[in-house]
Amino acid sequence: MRRTLFALILIGLVVAALGIYLTRPRLDGPQVLDGLTGDAAAGALVFTAAGCASCHMAEGATGDDKLVLTGGQRFPSPFGTFTAPNISMDPEHGIGGWRALDLWNALHHGTSPEGQHLYPAFPYASYVRMTPQQVVDLHAYIRTLPADPTPSTPHDLGFPFNIRASLGGWKLLYLRAGWVMDGDLTPEETRGRVIVEALAHCAECHSPRDPLGGSKTGADWLTGAPNPAGRGTFPDLTPPELDWSTGDLVEYFTSGFTPEYDSAGGHMAHVVDNLAALPETDRTAVAAYLKRLPLTE
């Protein structure tokens, strides 16, 4: 009996140790960015397409104040309320002390420089598809923005969602670097895929999620989803539900006006502002990607 109990305890310890190892926060070394130099001008386009200011500016900020990434906007969800942190260049309360490698590990592994899991309300499940060059360019641009000493506000999460260690298991299930739409894409569709799947992280709102909060792919990709704040839904972006022409889509991404003379509202208004600031070729590329849907995996 004692031998059996000892064996069960030993097996339990081995399984626990293996689980801790597999779900540990991951950090890449500097070799992943070796030889790369950041281009702030290129990083500005990455920053805009990724919507960094839309989430990390202060609530209600306008004009140049949008680039003061003080944080503080609140994002309700079924798991609790997440509050965007300060990512300004303040070295104490922002990310002014982060290296490009620290930004890489946050975007690709959801891991802070201190080795903590970050919550996927920060959409690293999409940003994981960013290239090393895009990350160092983004880092170069962010370093040109102002510092702000406002402390970040903690998330408001109940048990068990306030246990960061559990996020390692979530990452094992959902953090994948591959593209969702694969196959023989044109260069324009390929550029649209970069914006939709990686930078603009469209699926974070427009794809339904399973009970653990992972975005669904396959036939459910970009087919719309409930607003996690509990107000309304995000629309289906796949044909035939979205039957707008390429020209209609480009116009919407430019002005925010739909073919029915409605206009973008809520957070989508920020997305339109971001897309409108990109080259028109990028807006056309996003339209081309959406016109290729539904996809096959």
pLDDT digits (tens, 9 = 90+) for 57-111: 999 899 999 999 999 999 999 999 999 999 999 999 999 999 999 999 999 999 9
Q: What is the pLDDT of residue 142?
A: 98
Same domain, 155 and 194: no
Q: Which of these, 79, 58, 82, lies nearest to 69 by C-alpha position?
A: 58
Is the four-CA dihedral 41, 114, 56, 256 of positive or negative sign?
positive
Q: What is the pLDDT of residue 11?
A: 56
Separation CA 85–CA 286 (nearest Å): 29
CATH number at residue 279: 1.10.760
Q: What is the pLDDT of residue 267?
A: 86
Same domain, 113 and 77: yes
Same domain, 165 and 260: no
Q: How many domains does the chain contain in total? A: 2
Whether residue 181 lies inside any domain: the answer is no
Q: What is the pLDDT of residue 270?
A: 94
Whether residue 25 lies inside any domain: the answer is no
Same domain, 45 and 166: yes
Both tokens of 41, joined, read 């001008």
Domain with 97 in it = 31-174
Q: What is the pLDDT of residue 265?
A: 82
Whether residue 219 lies inside any domain: the answer is yes
Q: Which of these, 113, 145, 122, lies nearest to 73 by C-alpha position?
A: 122
Same domain, 51 and 150: yes
Separation CA 136–CA 131 (nearest Å): 9
Q: Domain boundary residue among 146, 174, 202?
A: 174
Same domain, 170 and 195: no
Tell me the pLDDT tens digit for each residue of 131-144: 999 999 999 999 99
Same domain, 38 and 168: yes
Whether residue 206 lies inside any domain: the answer is yes
Same domain, 49 and 136: yes
Same domain, 115 and 239: no
Same domain, 38 and 139: yes
* Residue type at 186 in one-letter notation: T
Q: What is the pLDDT of residue 228?
A: 80
Q: Domain boundary residue among 129, 148, 174?
A: 174
For residues 118 and 83, the answer to whether their CB atoms sit within 8 Å is no
Query: Mean pLDDT for each consecutive 10-residue tract of the chain (297 residues)?
Result: 58 50 79 97 98 95 94 93 97 97 98 96 97 98 97 93 92 93 92 97 95 91 87 88 93 94 87 96 97 70
Separation CA 291–CA 293 (nearest Å): 5
Strands (E) across the chain are located at 74-77, 80-83, 156-157, 225-226, 233-234
For residues 124 and 106, the answer to whether their CB atoms sit within 8 Å is yes
Whether residue 83 lies inside any domain: the answer is yes
Same domain, 97 and 119: yes
Whether residue 224 lies inside any domain: the answer is yes
pTM of the model: 0.91
Position of tokens 């994981």?
Answer: 128
Same domain, 81 and 135: yes
Q: What is the pLDDT of residue 9?
A: 58
Whether residue 253 lies inside any domain: the answer is yes
Q: What are phi and psi of 215, to 5 degrees?
A: -70, 135
Bridge pairing between strands 80-83 and 74-77: antiparallel
Whether residue 158 lies inside any domain: the answer is yes
Q: What is the pLDDT of residue 23?
A: 63
Q: Domain boundary residue among 147, 174, 201?
A: 174
